[in-house]
Amino acid sequence: MIRVGIVGYGNVGRGAECAVMQSKDMVLAGIFTRRDAASIHPLSPDTKVYPYAALEEGAEADVLLLCGGSATDLPEQTPQLARRYCVVDTFDTHARIPAHFAAVDAAAKAGQTAAIISTGWDPGLFSLMRLLGNAALPEGAGDTFWGPGVSQGHSDAVRRIEGVADARSYTIPVQKTAHAVRQGATGFTPREKHTREVYVVLKEGADPQRVAQEIITMPHYFDEYDTTVTFISAEEMAAEHMAMPHGGFVIRSGKLGPERQFGSLMEFKLELDSNPMFTGAFLAAFGRACHRLHERGQSGCFTAFDVPLGLLSPLSGEELRKTLL
Amino acid sequence: MIRVGIVGYGNVGRGAECAVMQSKDMVLAGIFTRRDAASIHPLSPDTKVYPYAALEEGAEADVLLLCGGSATDLPEQTPQLARRYCVVDTFDTHARIPAHFAAVDAAAKAGQTAAIISTGWDPGLFSLMRLLGNAALPEGAGDTFWGPGVSQGHSDAVRRIEGVADARSYTIPVQKTAHAVRQGATGFTPREKHTREVYVVLKEGADPQRVAQEIITMPHYFDEYDTTVTFISAEEMAAEHMAMPHGGFVIRSGKLGPERQFGSLMEFKLELDSNPMFTGAFLAAFGRACHRLHERGQSGCFTAFDVPLGLLSPLSGEELRKTLL
């Protein structure tokens, strides 16, 4: 049994806990939190909760699933913990991946541990799809679309506007553009690829027109998209917008043959009732792979590109060849 | 530059030749054939054609793409050539994969070479999708559908019937069943998953009723499916049925969360104007990976499950993390 520790207990942490409980080859070593341990209520009463500091003293875990955020938690925690533990994270700030990789690689090599970074569904699963598409169809076009789904980051940004009591922002792929990408078209702007739909509960007395204007002109978050703003009651928000669905699709379209006359389309689609539950599931599978890489004597930082995918499964190579190949 | 040899020059061999020509990091070391070399007409006049026996004397190739058939060619050629060369094949007789793996593994270990078997799109690409689905959603259901597309094996089987001048058999997925699998249903029979449509050109004087009866009752090939037989002229066959389109989709549907209340759907789809061109493209990408595994000092037999997918791309790990992760 692989002893798995969970570091951080938000939505993804709960997803990871569920995934470990669904995995027959894993046992939960505990949840490690910087919050008051007594305030954490794991899904199973058997799950132990420890303060984060317990990791410094040494925890009996074969691998840690790091469930913190990419903004401040992971840049610090992943390299720090990689010095002592095998670790897996979901670092998703694309522009900072090279720096994060370098920091984690140095720490893991020093500690003779294995680390796999950026293992959610994007980056992670979708990255693998982009890679397969590019490898099979080097002359081609491709693009990634997200949604329909809730964007946590965009929802948070709207909540910070004065007069907003609560908000939920949905990302919607533009099907017409996706269709064009399947035909080989490229070069679309953010506005052409996705729209955004924002649902807002106003604080008493707030001016809806000003709030709507602040949303649709917000740099980076909304100004590059066609955004609709709908004002709803707190009751409607609670009744209809508490779920965290997400998904998306990765398209690769290319031409093969001596005259490039043969069209080829590869498309991977994901539809999730719960974004953090699926992220936790994938994180746990990469936790298994991380432990196994380490068992094979490998150390340093890896991404989804560097891991033989057979290591994600609890089945042996022989069983995999018999049942899934 | 990776020096790539192509062994066998049928439809897949031509696909492999095209793929090598589309790959900036590969150069064609030549085509090796058991037919009369003068009868082979490569797509590029620069491509050299050698007799198969030249491989025994020693060819200057970093990796060989084996483009023969699974029935008789590959069981013999892959282990034989793995003793001396890095090799990649598309062996697709599912039941015999364990035996083939063992034979190739022994040969490659003896020769200190690397071999990757079963690397087409199924087995190969679709196998990876099944694995990812099972790893992320261990409690779930999934299935693979093929088509719409031409089944070469079924077309050949019909051509062997007395009175048949030419034939083409199409595999058509049953969309209603695919929809049920997306909802989590399992346990479908071959008849529920696919239909077959056969187009036949009769020889003069042949009895259409007898031929149709022989087709739809043919054990294994057609008797387990709802099959329609349509008689057409040789001209119609030439005008409308000479392409080799294929494709299919891999579905995995699962439930996550403490009460398994969150549905999750993963689906990968492939639509190909030319089955052998895409097979050749994937074979070439795995040829690249095979050469790189060998450069890393690895030897023995591998499948798609054992290869870090980053090795399929001509880009470095650093470039991949920047552009595709």
Nearest Cα residue in chain A from B44 = A258
Partners of residue A134 in chain B, C-beta under 8 Å? 313, 324
What's the pLDDT band for A99 if we cut at 50, 70, 90? very high
Of B23, B278, B304, the CB nearest to A264: B278
What's the pLDDT band for B249 if we cut at 50, 70, 90? very high
Positive or negative: CA dihedral B47, B52, B53, B55: positive
Residue B176's pLDDT is 97
Per-residue pLDDT reduced to its tens digit, B65-80: 999 999 899 999 999 9
Nearest Cα residue in chain A from B265 = A271
Overall pTM > 0.90: yes
Q: Which domain holds residue A45?
A: 2-122+276-323
Residue at B217 is within a domain: yes
Identify whether residues A179 and A229 lie together within a single domain: yes
Identify whether residues B174 and B240 lie together within a single domain: yes
Residue at B131 is within a domain: no
Q: For residue B26, give the CATH number of its domain.
A: 3.40.50.720
Domain edge (last residue) among A195, A223, A244: A244
Identify whether residues B118 and B6 lie together within a single domain: yes
Residue at A140 is within a domain: no
> What does the mean pLDDT of chain B come to?
96
Residue at A112 is within a domain: yes
Contact predicate A195/A226, CB 8 Å: yes
Does B43 touch chain A if contact means CB atoms closer than 8 Å?
A: yes
Residue B277's pLDDT is 97
Residue B237's pLDDT is 98
Per-residue pLDDT reduced to its tens digit, B92-123: 998 999 999 999 999 999 999 999 999 999 99
Nearest Cα residue in chain A from B140 = A22
Q: For residue B166, give the CATH number of its domain.
A: 3.30.360.10
> What does the mean pLDDT of chain A come to?
96
Which A residues in the span 44-103 are in contact with B, Cβ-Cβ below 8 Å? 94, 97-98, 101
Tokens at residue A88, please? 């897996």
Query: B3 vs A268, B6, B118, CA distance in Å?
Result: 32, 10, 21
Q: What is the distance between the alpha carbons of residues A104 and A97, in angstroms, rounded to a whole number?
A: 10
Which A residues in the span 279-298 are in contact with B, Cβ-Cβ below 8 Å? 280-282, 285
Residue A64's pLDDT is 98
Identify whether residues A8 and A57 lie together within a single domain: yes
% pLDDT > 90, chain A: 96
Per-residue pLDDT reduced to its tens digit, A40-85: 999 988 899 999 999 999 999 999 999 999 999 999 999 999 999 9
How many angstroms away from the CA of B262 is the closest CA of chain A? 5
What's the pLDDT band for A165 if we cut at 50, 70, 90? very high
CB contact under 8 A, B324 and A134: yes
Residue at B263 is within a domain: no
What's the pLDDT band for B2 if we cut at 50, 70, 90? very high
Work out the average pLDDT over B279-305: 98
Contact predicate A167/A210, CB 8 Å: no
Per-residue pLDDT reduced to its tens digit, B210-228: 999 999 999 989 999 999 9
Does B116 touch chain A if contact means CB atoms closer than 8 Å?
A: no
Which A residues in the span 117-146 are in contact with B, Cβ-Cβ below 8 Å? 118, 123, 125, 127-132, 134-139
Of A24, A273, A322, the CB nearest to B263: A273
Of A18, A317, A324, the CB nearest to B130: A324
Residue whose token pair is 């599978």: A285
Q: How many CB pairs under 8 A join A and B?
A: 215
Residue A211's pLDDT is 98
Residues whose CB falls within 8 Å of the CB of residue B104, separated by 6 or more in sequence, listed in order: B78, B79, B82, B87, B115, B117, B301
Nearest Cα residue in chain B from A137 = B281
Work out the average pLDDT over A96-119: 97
CB contact under 8 A, B135 and A325: no
Single-letter amino acid, residue A57: E
Residue B172's pLDDT is 98
What's the pLDDT band for A131 if we cut at 50, 70, 90? very high
Indicate the number of domains in chain B. 2
Domain edge (last residue) among A244, A263, A286: A244
Residue A129's pLDDT is 98
Per-residue DSSP letter, B83 = T
How many angstroms away from the CA of B162 is the closest CA of chain A? 34
Per-residue pLDDT reduced to its tens digit, B141-180: 999 999 999 998 899 999 999 999 999 999 999 999 999 9
Does B277 touch chain A if contact means CB atoms closer than 8 Å?
A: yes
Per-residue DSSP letter, A203 = P
Of A15, A263, A307, the CB nearest to B273: A263
Domain edge (last residue) among B194, B224, B244: B244
Nearest Cα residue in chain B from A289 = B135
